[in-house]
Chains A and B, each alone.
Chain A
Amino acid sequence: QKEVEQDPGPLSVPEGAIVSLNCTYSNSAFQYFMWYRQYSRKGPELLMYTYSSGNKEDGRFTAQVDKSSKYISLFIRDSQPSDSATYLCAMSMDSNYQLIWGAGTKLIIKP
């Protein structure tokens, strides 16, 4: 069983739609849950992270963690063509421990 699983997509939605991106994981010791955005030919860029369970909101982005189900989500409201990118989840047991990454979901927002 892979430690972190993420549907590679692509996920194609019309502009303005609400996007839901998800990851599942197997290691219950993970405490930090991150979402990165990666544009084509660029390195990953940290979007937001959540510690333990709960929600975190930043503008149009909301991250959710359900530790009981070992499931995390990233919601994007009012999606824009500029949100088109690959979104990677990553997890860690500690703030300075190695990250364990998902394979990324390619998101396409159609104008």
Chain B
Amino acid sequence: EPEVTQTPSHQVTQMGQEVILRCVPISNHLYFYWYRQILGQKVEFLVSFYNNEISEKSEIFDDQFSVERPDGSNFTLKIRSTKLEDSAMYFCASSVLRRWDTQYFGPGTRLTVL
């Protein structure tokens, strides 16, 4: 069964450093998403991406964040100048349609900012 993959599974970084979280969506999917989940808290939508541009973003997704689809398979989330409060699980998801009921989630990357 096709699945969304994410690397690395765990990233540790120093405050102020830049990190890039990587995702490989399911190959025939057209819509891509990033979510985050701070430990013990709810899942929060960050951004959706379609046709090589951001289609929707939340208030959390400020200038510190950027997304890119650098080639035909990867989808990346870059966090510049990381802060302690960026520590969270980051989930990538992809879907065929722009509908939440067709989204498949990856296993997540745990980001720890020290």
Contact = CB atoms under 8 A, between A and B. Distances in A.
Interface of A: 4, 8, 32, 34, 41-46, 49, 88, 90, 92, 95-96, 98-99, 101-104
A96 B107 contact: no
A41 B105 CA distance: 12
Mostly helix, strand, loop or mixed at chain B's interface? loop
A90 B45 CA distance: 12
Interface of B: 4, 9, 40-45, 56, 58, 91, 93, 97-101, 103-108
Given A43-B108, A46-B101, A95-B99, A104 B42 contact: yes
Nearest to B38: A103
Contacts of A4: 42
29 contacts: A4-B42, A8-B40, A34-B100, A34-B101, A41-B9, A42-B107, A42-B108, A43-B4, A43-B91, A43-B105, A43-B106, A44-B43, A44-B105, A45-B105, A46-B100, A46-B101, A49-B101, A88-B43, A92-B100, A96-B97, A98-B45, A98-B58, A99-B100, A101-B42, A101-B43, A101-B44, A103-B40, A103-B41, A103-B42
A4 B99 CA distance: 20
Contacts of B108: 41-43
A102 B42 contact: yes
Given A42-B105, A44-B91, A99-B43, 17 more contacts: A34-B101, A41-B9, A41-B107, A43-B107, A46-B103, A90-B43, A90-B100, A92-B100, A95-B100, A95-B101, A96-B97, A96-B98, A96-B99, A99-B45, A102-B42, A103-B40, A104-B42
A13 B99 CA distance: 34
Nearest to B95: A96
A99 B42 CA distance: 11
A103 B38 CA distance: 10
